[in-house]
Amino acid sequence: MIERRRILKALAASAITLPFAGLFAKSARSAPSVAKRLIVFYFPDGVPAPQGQASRFHASGSELAFSLPENLAPLEPYRSSCVFLNGLSMGGTDAGSHPGGAKKLLTGVDGGGGESIDRYLARTVGAGSPNRHLYFGAMANQNAASGDKHISYPSPGTTVAPEDNPILSFQRLFVPQGNGTQDTEGASVIDTVKGDLDDVRASLEGAERQKLDLHLEALREVERRVKGLSPTCGGAAVDISGIDASQLYSPERFPGVLRAHIDIMVQAMACGLSQVGVVQCSQHTSELIMSRFPATPLYKANFDMRSHQASHYGDPGDPKFADYVAQRTWFASQFAYLLGELQKRPDGTGTMLDSSVVLLCSEVCDGNTHLHDNMPFVLAGRAGGTLRTGRLLSFGYRRHSDLLLSLARAMGDGATSFGQECQGVLPGLFV
Amino acid sequence: MKTNLSWTLATVGVSAALGTAFGCGRSGDDAAKADVASGEAQYAALCAGCHGTQGEGKTAPTLRHWTRGEPALAGIIDERMPLGDPAKCKGKCATDVAKYILEKLQGDLVCAAPRPTARGLRLLTRREYRRTVQDLLGLAFATKGGDTCEASFRYDPQGRSVSKVHVAGSFNAWPATTAAGGWPLTLTGAVWTGKRTLPQGQYLYKFVLDERDWIADPGNGKTSPDGFGGNNSVLDVQCGVGGGAADPTTSFPVDTRPEGFLFDDSARGRIVTPVLADEYFRAATTLATVAVGDLGKITGCANLGDEKACAASFVARFGARAFRRPLTGTETARYVDLTSKQGSLASGVRAALRAFLNAPQFLYRSEQGTPQKDGTYRLSGFEIASALSYGLWGTMPDDVLFAAAEKGELDAPEGREKQARRMLADARARETVGTFAEQWLGSENVASATKAAQLYPAWSESLGASMAEETRRFVTSVVFDGSHTYEELVTAKYSMVDDRLAPLYGLAGGSASFEKRDYPDGTRAGILGHASVLTATSHSDQTSPIRRGLFVRRRLLCQELPAPPPNAGGVPKVDPNATTRERFAQHTANPTCKACHQYIDGVGFGFEPFDAIGQKRTQENGRDIDPKGDMNDVEGLGTQTHAPYTGLRELGQILASSRAAKACVVKQYGRFVAGGVDDDACASSDVVRRFEATGGDLREMIVATFASPSFVLRRSAP
């Protein structure tokens, strides 16, 4: 019996002709005026921004002359590609609640009563991609996580679970099911099932019908893969050899799982397999014992400090505060790693970072008070030259719906409003 | 405000009396009425969300038994309500709301009729899919084995001169060279061999000789055309042990559980994502390929030579089982058409099987019903058959249920009761009750808990797996073998113990299989003392009286509490000179915390004689553990009762005699069966009555759930 379930070294090495070259070309716009892809990077339990004290996360200064505090130090090498955002609020409803914040974060609607921006873009500008949406987690489903722990809403009020296992993500994206031969039988199977779906859908109403609409969309995505040639993703190898599928929920393995999922995300996007992705670190009110991350500044032998536990530091004088600050810096360093991977890869006349828009976010502001004002948001990537980066934009009070709308615009979607209290795109953000 | 048909107020006397109290002439009466009307509107907008539309209490206490008079109530509203935003209701608003509550929302509620759950489609859960495809296709999946396992490659050149061999295939993107990622084989004697670990599934591959000649594996008879006139070899990686087909559901995504819902089968909260659709498609292809290996068995055709007749009878016969009802004319035509257009009977049947297993009629079970005069919807016989079989067995109906559905025997409560009793005798019913128990009690994931090794050296993943198994076995044993009573569930002096758990419970010996063993002393009581429960409700390095208190409130008493307010403070830090109880004392000292923690900590403190992995302890940090707890307000938050207890056995006795606890297990089981939470306190009233009348017999509760008239009724989905 296999005790340790691991793939020793899985490679996606040889560059066979991209079967989706045609599709890819279509999605690569002639004018570099919008982002080709959106990646959302989420971490749980907010940031150290104690009342009456300087935030350890928010940038300070003027639009062009600003400094990055401790938490954002890892973003220093990328500051010219980032837009730091202060003063965005998610509104008063459920302020003080982790789940309440997670529900509003990407939907812009109280109680998660809307489709999230990632799902919206996946079905609009991303609709032509072989995989419209990628949703990867690291310990995001731990302990039968309830739906409010997940931030991506395919339909109002409904979340789905991210994939926590990089081996499965790798397999689905890079290990084709066929051998480049067309599955003609599969195509007629899908035609039959589509007929069934249409019939069943017609017998339903309201939310139930919407469920079948989503099912049909999902099947169409399978259909494109079945009727086309199986995609083969060329380029550099993604190394998932360190992943042990039986240890996905050991805190010691968290950094490795997260790293693998970032690598798979970047590689899939580099191949044009998807344009929209979300990486979710853990889950709100996180039990993740970050003091067990090996070979990181967070490591402490025989001492357990969880994310949510540290976030309730009480007073900045409490030793937990230092742990909390260090944890948030670590999350920012993982975001920096993602930016670095994007920057490494040439795309057109620039890099993948230039042609992307990437969002760093959490579900509350300060972890001790859980409030939903001055939310910790950082945008990165030039979005194909659309965004004026290297800036700090500060707003008095503005709903983060405007940020979500701005993401849509950066991706070339023509939406004029998104979420609640939306006034328009963030002023000063676009070129 | 909307009238709720299922509530009847038994409060006429109270409101009449209050009416006279306001009586100061006619104009005064009118003014009082206006105040109450205004209070009603404010109540609906500001209070009903937490206190319930009828003041019955949800996340906030019930208001129906207020004894302290109007000024006190108005004062509290003015000062503190709504919680967190008292500015919303001051002065007249507060007095109007108080008047409304005292005039309209007092006294016990009487349920007129249960409210049906919402109609719609219910997607099979991962566990339901796994069982269903096995029953449908007559397969048995290997029960153990991982997601990945070892595959061996062997090439015998039979004298041919070769200096280098590598494997190229769908698993490594067909590299032409080893430098590009080809898997090299090594020469052992005269034969080239190599091993690789792969996720289970089907792959295609070739051997590449000297990085030049691509050949199919001559030692593997299973091939498929490569599109270039040659063949690829087919590699089936199946990780199962002890025979049986590979389980295709191991890579399915987890079933989403909406906020606050304990069970995996939420009807409204789960959808088919592209990833899940992909998994369904892949699994169907694998399963269909396996199934057509025995064409006679899967088609049931005596004469496979008459392809046309066989296709038609296969579609009708198999389709009715796959869709759990006879096919419609359209469906029959569609599937016969697919089956007959694939060139051969085998490929036609395979294509049809693939389609059946991807069809919404298979993946969802219908609970739509047909409209009735009173606005409800009544399930069809076949819909009832599925509701019974998935509720009791977690899989598709058997032939007996199908026959009963066809004869209309499931429409009447007696018919369903007869079937439920028959089905309870089957092993699948034990399995499903075990699933309910571990989701209800939160013991299902205890093996993946993280514990601090220096504090709990006995902890291991396998010990956790034994804990989870203990709880499954104990609950099924109480329900099926023991007294069947709720009382036994929370007071039993024994459990099901293996040799990993025995030392933890202070028992000698034990074997690898689970045996019924008495606890060595009187400190544990039923599920309350289970290591799984005590471990799952603790942190990695300390116990949590909060989580243990909430375990009792939420899971055992169905009493919900609001989330902590901002600035709550979190877990007090570990203090080497204090007990956990002492550290948490601030909760009841601070009035803001106390509002909720008066209902949580006192219950949880009584679990302190057990550490974070459920081991007994009498001291913590050199100080004696105070084992006293208080199961206050057991019948409802805000009822202001106290029930001090020492030891879990006393807590078990309190719960065993509690009506709220019995009503809660009915509610939780009802949620599991219905795949949803019904906020209506009347939802399961008839089942509760029967459960109480039988002395808390859990088998009778199960039977009553399926026999209940409301079991076959649905209402419009919102």
B521 lies within 8 A of chain A by CB = no
Distance of residue A5 Cα from the nearest chain B Cα, in angstroms: 5
Provide the pLDDT for residue B17: 34
CB A419 within 8 A of CB A405: yes
Q: How many CB atoms sit inside 10 A of residue B84's CB?
A: 14
Provide the pLDDT for residue B144: 54
Higher pLDDT: A108 or A8? It is A108
**Exposure of B619 in the CB half-sphere (CA atoms within 13 A):** 5
B260 lies within 8 A of chain A by CB = yes
B437, B275, B255: which is closest to A144 by C-alpha? B255
Find chain A residues with C-beta within 8 A of B225's C-beta. Answer: 181
Interface of B with A in 346-405 (CB under 8 A): 347, 350-351, 354-355, 358-361, 364, 368
Assign A248 a pLDDT band (cuts: 50, 70, 90): very high
Summarize pLDDT for B92-147 with one digit per residue, the tens.
999 999 999 999 888 877 666 677 888 999 999 999 999 999 999 999 887 654 55
- Interface residue of A11, A148, A192, A306 to substitute, partner B, most B CBs within 10 Å: A192
Find chain B residues with C-beta within 8 A of A207's C-beta. Answer: 120, 268, 717-718
Find chain B residues with C-beta within 8 A of A197's C-beta. Answer: 359-360
Provide the pLDDT for residue A18: 35
Summarize pLDDT for B677-707 with one digit per residue, the tens.
875 666 677 898 899 999 999 999 999 999 9
B229 lies within 8 A of chain A by CB = no
Provide the pLDDT for residue B571: 59
Distance of residue A260 Cα from the nearest chain B Cα, in angstroms: 17
Q: How far is CA A361 from CA A100, A298, A331, in A?
A: 15, 21, 10
Q: Which of A172, A179, A245 sits opposite B147 (nearest CB)?
A: A245
Summarize pLDDT for B174-213 with one digit per residue, the tens.
888 888 778 889 888 888 988 777 766 677 899 999 999 9
Whole-angstrom Cα distance, residue B26 to residue B34?
A: 12
Q: What does the pLDDT average to over B301-318?
A: 95
Q: What does the pLDDT average to over B327-349?
A: 96
Assign B521 a pLDDT band (cuts: 50, 70, 90): very high
Distance of residue A429 Cα from the nearest chain B Cα, in angstroms: 32
Summarize pLDDT for B562-599 with one digit per residue, the tens.
777 666 655 566 677 888 888 887 677 777 778 788 89
Q: What does the pLDDT average to over B509-537?
A: 94
Interface of B with A in 681-710 (CB under 8 A): none
A419, A428, A369: which is closest to A399 by C-alpha? A419
Among A118-122, A387-391, B231-235, B588-592, the least confident range: B588-592
Distance of residue A1 Cα from the nearest chain B Cα, in angstroms: 7
Task: Provide the mean pLDDT of chain B.
Answer: 88
Summarize pLDDT for B217-237 with one digit per residue, the tens.
988 877 777 767 788 888 877
Summarize pLDDT for B650-665 with one digit per residue, the tens.
999 999 999 999 999 9
Whether the per-residue pLDDT at A30 is higher than 70: the answer is no
Q: What does the pLDDT average to over B20-44?
A: 70
- Interface residue of A2, A110, A149, A193 to substitute, partner B, most B CBs within 10 Å: A193
User: Cα A30 to chain center, whole Å?
Assistant: 26
Provide the pLDDT for residue A23: 40
Q: With 0-12 CB in 10 A as exposed, 13-18 as middle and 19+ as buried, what is A21?
A: exposed
CB B54 within 8 A of CB B555: no
Q: What does the pLDDT average to over B475-482?
A: 95
Whole-angstrom Cα distance, residue B322 to residue B136?
A: 7
- Across the strands, what pairs with A277? A39, A134
* Nearest chain B residue (CA) to A218: B274
All domains of chain A in start order, with CATH? 1-30+169-242 (no CATH), 32-165+245-410 (3.40.720)
CB A1 within 8 A of CB B144: yes
Q: A369 and B567 in contact by Cβ < 8 A?
A: yes
Provide the pLDDT for residue B12: 31
Provide the pLDDT for residue A178: 55
- What's the ipTM? 0.90
* Nearest chain B residue (CA) to A162: B253
B87 lies within 8 A of chain A by CB = no
* CA angle at B299 for the pair B295 and B304, rounded to the nearest 5°: 65
B4 lies within 8 A of chain A by CB = no
B572 lies within 8 A of chain A by CB = no
Provide the pLDDT for residue B11: 32
- Interface residue of A196, A210, A227 to substitute, partner B, most B CBs within 10 Å: A196
Q: A218 and B239 in contact by Cβ < 8 A?
A: no
Whole-angstrom Cα distance, residue A263 to residue A74?
A: 18
Provide the pLDDT for residue B589: 74
Q: How many CB atoms sit inside 10 A of residue B32's CB?
A: 18
Q: B145 and A2 in contact by Cβ < 8 A?
A: yes
Q: With 0-12 CB in 10 A as exposed, 13-18 as middle and 19+ as buried, what is B233?
A: buried
Distance of residue B184 Cα from the nearest chain A Cα, in angstroms: 13
Whether the per-residue pLDDT at B70 is higher than 80: the answer is yes
3-state helix, strand, coil in chain A (%, to 5): 35, 15, 50
Structure token pair of residue B625: 């553990």
Provide the pLDDT for residue B181: 77
